[in-house]
Amino acid sequence: MFATFLRLALLLALALPVVAATDPKALIEQYHRDHPGKGKFAGHWQPIPIQRYWNPVDFYEPPKTVQGKVGRDQCVACHQGVTPGFVKAWQDSTHAHLGRIRTLPDSDVRAYKKKLLAEVEANLVEQGLLKQGEHLQQVGCIDCHGGVGKDKIRHDKDLRLPDRAVCGTCHVQQFAEAESEKEQTWPQGQWPKGHPSHAVDWKANVETAVWAAMAEREIAQGCDQCHYQQNKCDGCHTRHSFSAAEARQPEACATCHNGVDHNEFENYLLSKHGTVYQTHKQQWNFEAPLKDAIARGGYTAPTCQLCHFEYQGQFSHNLVRKVRWGFNPTPAIAENLDHPWFQKRLDAWVGTCSQCHSPRFGRTWLETADKGILAGLKVEQEAKQVVQKLYDDGLLPGQKTNRPAPPAPAQDAPGGFFQLFWAKGNNPSRVERVYAEMWEHDLIKLYKGLVHANPGGYTYSEGWSPLLRDYTEIMDENTRLRAEAKTRLAFLPDSLRLADTDLRLPLGAALLVGGLVVLGRRK
C-alpha cells in the first residue's frame, strides 16, 4: 500500500519539469535563509582570516587600504597595475565581451549563448536591474563586487565577494538547478535532506564535529577550500574567466574530487573513458554545450560532466538526481537497493550509459559494480565488529591509561571519522586507525573504482586488495591483543590485571616479598 503510494509519488515527481519556473528574488531569499553561517557547532570555533574568502557573506570585510568611492571605470585602470593576472583573465572572458555573443553565427557551437544572454537580460529586467529593451554590454567588476548596474561603490565599505546568489541574479536557471539539490530526500533517511550535495557542502563542512573541534584552524580550513560550493560558484567556473568551457573539462573537478576518500578523477583518467579523453581531446570542442557534446563537440567518450550533469536525457546543474551510494557504502543503502527510489536511479544511470553503450551493457556494468561494492562492504563490516569488540573489551593499547577524549563537539568512538584528523596519546590506537582508513578510504575507493570502471582502481592498486590488507592487519592485531591479554590474565595476580597500569611492578615486587616471608614462616 505504502509502496504503491510511493511509486505514484515518484511517477508524479518524474512528470514535473526538472526545475520549476522560479522567481529570482524568492530564490535568492530562500538561498540566504537556508545558509547555515557558522552552523550548529558555532560555539566551538572561530573563523580565521583566510575563511573570509571561503565564506564571504559571513566573514568578508573590505580592505581598508583603499578609501572612498570608486567608479565603474576605475577598477580595471587601477588593478591592471596591482593585480594584472585577474584583470587579464576577465579581459579575455565572455563577461568582458557580451557583444561578441550577439554576433555569433548560428553555426557556431557557442551560439546557444545568445539565448542564455537574452534570458539573463530578461531576469534582470524582472528584478528591475535592467530597463526593458536595454542590452547588457559587459559584466564589469562592479556588477559582481558592488551590485548589478552600480556606477560607484565605497571600496572600503561596499566591496563584496560574490556568493552563489550574486551569480544567480543573472544566471537564474543555473542557480535554481543547483539549489534544487537541496530537495534530495533519501527514502530510509540514509542521509539528511539535501545531503550529500554541492548545495549543502558548506553546511556539511561546518557541522562535522571534528572539523569544529580541531584546534589547528589553518589545517581545518583546508576542508573549506572544497566545501564552499554552497557559498560560491568559482569552484568550477574559476574567477575571473568564469569559463563554461573550462568547467566542462574533467580537470575542473579534480581539485576536489581526488585523493584518499574520493578518487574520482584518478579513476576517470585511468579508465578507458579517460584514455579516450586524453588521446582525443585536442579534437574535441569544449565550447559546445553538454547536450551537443557528442554531435557537435566531437566527444567520443564521456567527461565527468557528460554523465553527472545528465538526468533522463536533460542536462542541468543538479548533480544528485542519480546518486545511489552517496559518499560511502553503508548497510543502510546496501539493504535497500531494490527499493523503487534506488531502482529508478539505476534506470536513469542505464540511460546515461546508453549515450555510448548498449542499455544491456550499461545495466550489466551497474549491477556488477553494485555486487562488487557489496562484497567489499561485507569484509569491512566483519572488521568493524572485531574493532568494536576490542574496544568493548577494553583491550586496545593504552585504552585504560592513556586515551584522552577528543575535543568537543567530537565524541569518542572506536574507528571514528575524527580519528583521521585528531590524535593524542593512545587515541586512536593503531588498529582503530587502520579500521578508519578501511571504511573511509579502501571501501570508498573500491566503490569509486568500480563505478568509474578503472580496473586497477578496485582490484589491486586501490579497493579490494588494500581493503584486504587492512582486514589482515586488524585480524592480526586482534589475535595478538587477545593473546597478550590472556598472558596477563594467567600470570598476574588478579589485582594486577588492570593490564596496562604502572602499579603492577611495585605491587608484584611487594607480593613476591610477602610470599617469600610467608613461605619462610611456614617452616
Phi, psi dihedral angles at 464 (to 5 degrees)? -55, -50
Give the integer Cα–Cα distance in Å for 333 and 98: 47
Minimum CB distance to a copy of itself smaller for 186 or for 471: 471
Q: If we measure between CA atoms, which residue out of 440, 325, 435 comes closest to residue 385?
A: 435
Give the integer Cα–Cα distance in Å for 404 and 213: 14
Phi, psi dihedral angles at 427 (to 5 degrees)? -115, 110
* 96 to 115: interface string for a copy of itself, x by CB under 8 A: --------------------
- DSSP code of residue 406: P
Q: How far is the CB of 55 from a copy of itself (least distance, A)?
A: 14
* 397 to 436: interface string for a copy of itself, x by CB under 8 A: xx--xx----------------xxxxx-xx-xxx--x---
Q: List, as one string, the DSSP characters of 425-463.
A: TTBS-HHHHHHHHIIIIIHHHHHHHHHTT-HHHHTTSSS
Give the integer Cα–Cα distance in Å for 465 and 482: 26
Footprint of a copy of itself on 312-371 (CB under 8 A):
354-361, 364-365, 367-369, 371
Minimum CB distance to a copy of itself smaller for 179 or for 473: 473
207 three-state secondary structure: coil
Q: Which of 27, 104, 413, 475 touches a copy of itself by CB under 8 A?
A: 475
Q: If we measure between CA atoms, which residue out of 417, 231, 200 comes closest to residue 320?
A: 200
Q: Which of 18, 27, 125, 511 touches a copy of itself by CB under 8 A?
A: 511
Question: Of the ranges 2-10, 136-144, 150-158, 479-487, which one interacts with a copy of itself (CB under 8 A)?
Answer: 479-487
Is residue 236 a known part of a binding site? Answer: yes
Q: How far is the CB of 323 from a copy of itself (least distance, A)?
A: 21
Cα 15-17-18 angle, rounded to 5 deg: 110
Q: Which of 42, 294, 334, 413 touches a copy of itself by CB under 8 A?
A: 294
Q: How far is the CB of 11 from a copy of itself (least distance, A)?
A: 23
Does residue 109 contact residue 297 with C-beta atoms inside 8 Å? yes
Question: Of the ranges 114-122, 166-174, 178-186, 482-490, which one interacts with a copy of itself (CB under 8 A)?
Answer: 482-490
Q: Please measure the distance between the N-terminal and C-terminal CA atoms of the chain and give it in whole angstroms.
A: 86
Q: How far is the CB of 451 from a copy of itself (least distance, A)?
A: 12
Minimum CB distance to a copy of itself smaller for 41 or for 365: 365
* 449 to 468: interface string for a copy of itself, x by CB under 8 A: -x--xxxx-xxxx-xxx--x
Give the integer Cα–Cα distance in Å for 46 and 215: 10
How many residues belong to the site for a copy of itself (CB under 8 A)? 146
Q: Where are the alpha helices (DSSP H) in 64-129?
A: 74-82, 84-91, 98-102, 112-126
Residue set of the binding site for heme c: 75, 78-79, 95, 141, 144-145, 155, 167, 170-171, 198, 223, 226-227, 233, 236-237, 240, 253, 256-257, 273, 304, 307-308, 317, 353, 356-357, 452
